């Protein structure tokens, strides 16, 4: 099986939907909104840095990746779980029915 990303390193991250939030002072936060009551910042960019980020398509894309991280982690967990289920099914076919499944095993 291929090497997997160790998802335990992300345990304890800030819960909630991460968003890119323009702050009143011209900065940018990646944070979790709390309705109309504000937000909890995870990463804060000052106005000066935010202006530089806004002018770089690569920096904006990087910011989008950061904001999407929790959703990407959740999706990867789902994919890993499904892969484990499929590997178990292949193992059952091999063990119980003598079917050679070696062609389906992940290569190193």
Instruction: Say what the pLDDT of residue 108 is.
Output: 43
Global pTM? Answer: 0.80
pLDDT at residue 49, rounded to an integer = 96
How many CB atoms within 10 Å of residue 57? 8
- Domains in the chain: boundaries: 15-104
Backbone angles phi, psi at 21, to 5 degrees: -125, 120
Predicted confidence at residue 106, as pLDDT, reads 59
Q: Distance between CA atoms of 43 and 55, rounded to whole angstroms?
A: 18
The pLDDT assigned to 100 comes to 76
**CB under 8 Å to 44, separation ≥6 — which residues?**
23, 27, 28, 29
Low-confidence ranges of the chain (pLDDT < 70): 1-2, 104-108
């Amino acid at each position: 099986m291929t090497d997997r990303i160790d998802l335990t390193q992300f345990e304890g991250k800030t819960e909630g939907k991460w968003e890119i939030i323009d702050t009143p002072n011209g900065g940018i936060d990646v944070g979790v909104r709390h309705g109309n009551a504000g937000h909890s910042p995870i990463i804060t960019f000052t106005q000066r840095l935010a202006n530089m980020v806004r002018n770089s398509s690569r920096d904006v894309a990087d910011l989008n990746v950061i904001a999407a991280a929790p959703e990407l982690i959740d999706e990867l967990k789902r994919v890993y779980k499904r892969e484990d289920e499929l590997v178990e099914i292949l193992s059952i076919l091999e063990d119980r029915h003598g079917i050679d499944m070696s062609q389906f095993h992940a290569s190193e």
